[in-house]
Structure 1
Amino acid sequence: MATEHDKAVLQAIFNPSTPFGDIPGINQEEELTEDDSSFDPDLVRRVKSLELQGVSAAESGDIQAALKHFNQAIELLPRRASAYNNRAQTRRLQGDTTGAIVDLERAISLSGGAGRSACQALVQRGLLLRLANRGDEARQDFERAARLGSEFARQQAVQLNPYAALCNRMLAEVIDKLRNPDLADAQ
């Protein structure tokens, strides 16, 4: 049976673009859930139904109908983060990046920085910040989402970390020289 250290070494060899010691899935949280227990269950069911209708409308290209459904969900349960995440995506599709970021910040705040909604909002905001060339802020969001269990966010954080990229490149060169000692002597 391989130890955690063995797994980390193998990870570095086969995936040199990840930080040493990071093993995809090993630090990943169990399936993230939302704690809706503080809300009326009937309202939660109605809000989830509105959100599903909004997602369906957005997927079919009816952005206005999607916004209407998400706005209704927010009106019914303004302290529940999920609808803000969904509305942010719809606003992004509409080209309203500023409005999307405002909704994502609201989702992060309402979720207390934990659970599925926080993780999704951090990833979404990180992507928007990255597109806006705000790499340091994007990396911070990806790192927070990675701590919540998002493998995608972890990969994005690594890509945005210049020190990790340099270390990984150096490690890949060392490993390559170990694999091919004859080529290393020729250089």
Structure 2
Amino acid sequence: MAISNPPTTLSANDARVLNALFDPETLPSSVAKSKDASAIDNTLPPHPNIAASELSTLEAQQNDIVRRISTSSSIQEIDAAITELDRIVEEHPNYASAYINRAMLLRMKLESQLTAAQHIFTRSTSEVQPLFTNLSRAIHLSLPFSSPTAPVSEYQAKILRTAYSHRAYLYLKAAETGASLQGLEKSELEELASKDFAGAARYGDEVAREMSVRTNPYAKMCGAIVRNALKEEMSAEA
């Protein structure tokens, strides 16, 4: 679906050109690959290194841990859940889902300590960095080893959608709040967010697919250039 633009007096053709800059359907980028069925192969086993029976047991264990936590949980309860996930990660370092849930709990812990005027990037780097470390590890473990374009199982695709989207949100939040993250400028953070949204889109997240276009700094720049050019053209004709 195209992202709507403000009402203008542009010709139908000019409006169509401008709108195409922000339409995921028309961009010849990696975002379009979200509809590439070859990215997911339902015949593959859920996990390349963990047997299905063991994976089922791990899923049950971590789901039990996560379900005990809510927005009303105390820091002590969240810490206890994180400790349990630490144990799972230590015993099963290739189990990507545990890294995603640990990142989620770490973020919940940070957010539970914020005042109304604060955001997670007002916390210290040592508190924020583990979010990125865990999500990056989950992505690394779930991507195909043979080739970046090789297909993954539906289970791996779900992990990748979740991890990419969460990390993209964090990059976007850092950009919007003007946070100093890894010495990156706002445009660089937006570009990282756009790439991660595109990663989530490749594995089936259609909301992330549109967000990738919205946050793409090059698309924004092109849109601004086209708008200015069209305005100048209309002014000259007036």
Q: Same fold (TM over 0.5)?
A: yes
Moved more, 44-53 or 118-127: 44-53
Q: Is residue 44 of structure 2 the alignment partner of residue 44 of structure 1?
A: no
Structure 1 residues 81-160: aligned runs within 5 Å? 81-95=96-110, 96-112=127-143, 114=152, 115-133=157-175, 134-160=189-215
Shift in alpha-carbon separation, 1:118–1:168, aligned structure 2, 3 A: same
Q: Check the 8 A contact 2:194/2:212 in 1, yes or no.
A: yes
Q: Check the 8 A contact 1:19/1:168 in 2, yes or no.
A: no
Q: Check the 8 A contact 2:89/2:99 in 1, yes or no.
A: yes
**Counterpart selection for 2:92 from 71, 74, 77:** 77
Tell me the TM-score normalized by structure 2.
0.56
Aligned counterparts of 2:25 and 2:220: Cα–Cα separation in 1: 11
Aligned counterparts of 1:68 and 1:58: Cα–Cα separation in 2: 13
Aligned counterparts of 1:44 and 1:19: Cα–Cα separation in 2: 35
Shift in alpha-carbon separation, 1:101–1:162, aligned structure 2, 3 A: closer
Aligned counterparts of 2:173 and 2:133: Cα–Cα separation in 1: 16
Write the letter of the residue equivalent to 1:21: T
Q: Secondary structure at the residue paired with 2:94? A: coil
Identity %: 28
Aligned counterparts of 2:216 and 2:93: Cα–Cα separation in 1: 36
Q: Check the 8 A contact 1:56/1:66 in 2, yes or no.
A: no
RMSD: 3.4
Q: Is residue 32 of structure 2 the alignment partner of residue 27 of structure 1?
A: no
In the alignment, structure 1 segments of 5+ residues that lack a partner are 1-10, 175-186
Q: Check the 8 A contact 1:101/1:125 in 2, yes or no.
A: yes
Tell me the TM-score normalized by structure 1.
0.69
Aligned counterparts of 1:150 and 1:143: Cα–Cα separation in 2: 9
Shift in alpha-carbon separation, 1:31–1:144, aligned structure 2, 3 A: closer
Aligned counterparts of 2:3 and 2:166: Cα–Cα separation in 1: 30
Q: How far is 1:116 from its partner?
A: 1.6
Shift in alpha-carbon separation, 1:76–1:43, aligned structure 2, 3 A: farther
Moved more, 162-171 or 54-63: 162-171
Residue aligning to 1:182: none
In the alignment, structure 2 segments of 5+ residues that lack a partner are 6-18, 111-126, 145-151, 176-188, 231-237
Shift in alpha-carbon separation, 1:130–1:84, aligned structure 2, 3 A: same
Q: How far is 1:37 from its partner?
A: 5.5
**Which protein is richer in helix relative to its size?**
1
Q: Check the 8 A contact 1:50/1:70 in 2, yes or no.
A: no
Aligned residues: 163
Instruction: Describe the superposition over 1:148-186 as per-residue Cα deviations: whole angstroms up to 9, x where unpaired.
Output: 211121121111124545777979xx9xxxxxxxxxxxx
Write the letter of the residue equivalent to 1:27: K
